Amino acid sequence: MKKLLIFASFILFAFASQAQENTKEKLYDTAANPQTDIKKAIILAKKEHKNILLQVGGNWCIWCKRFHQTVAGNDTLNQLMQQNYVVLHVNYDQYNKNASIWKTLGYPQRFGFPVFVILDESGKQIHIQNSSYLEEGKGYNNGKIEDFFNAWTPAAIQGKTLKGS
């Protein structure tokens, strides 16, 4: 009887955990068209004089969620990202690999997930970032993320943040 009770508790916990996971925020729209979304992002980036940060991954990717949580939970990182980038989450999963976009972006998925692609305000690709360089232990390093964001801001690209400038 005790074993049955333990087993039943385990099953209930598993279903509760799955239900909770299904209600959590979905970062990636699996039905989105990345070409259309990038065109809209370019219009907004030009208007706001920002670069575009594509976070490529999927709702299945724990490291994608960790990155999002790290940035969203840190005022400095979140503000730095919002001030300098139009952010898009580009879905890649077994059902919708968005195959037509990868050649134009230099096949960033070769680095694993998430992977970050920086476009300038006109949509020209200027950088692909392997997320492993931002990781530390079982999470992300805030300082490395801050350095990454700072290195690819519009001001940095124009040389305005160089020491002695």
- pLDDT of 8: 46
Asked if the structure places residue 163 within a domain, the reply is: no
Asked if the structure places residue 64 within a domain, the reply is: yes
Asked if the structure places residue 78 within a domain, the reply is: yes
Q: Is the dihedral of CA 117, 36, 101, 91 positive or negative?
A: positive
CA R_g for the chain: 19
Closest-CA residue to 133 (of 149, 120, 121): 149
Asked if the structure places residue 139 within a domain, the reply is: yes
Asked if the structure places residue 127 within a domain, the reply is: yes
Asked if the structure places residue 25 within a domain, the reply is: no
CATH code at position 117: 3.40.30.10
Closest-CA residue to 55 (of 16, 17, 29): 29
Question: pLDDT truncated to tens, each residue of the chain (165 aa)?
Answer: 555 445 444 454 444 444 434 446 799 999 999 999 999 999 999 999 999 999 999 999 999 999 999 999 999 999 999 999 999 999 998 887 778 899 999 999 999 999 999 999 999 999 999 999 999 999 999 999 999 999 999 999 999 988 765
Domain count, the chain: 1
**Domain region containing 135:** 36-157
- pLDDT of 21: 42
- pLDDT of 25: 78
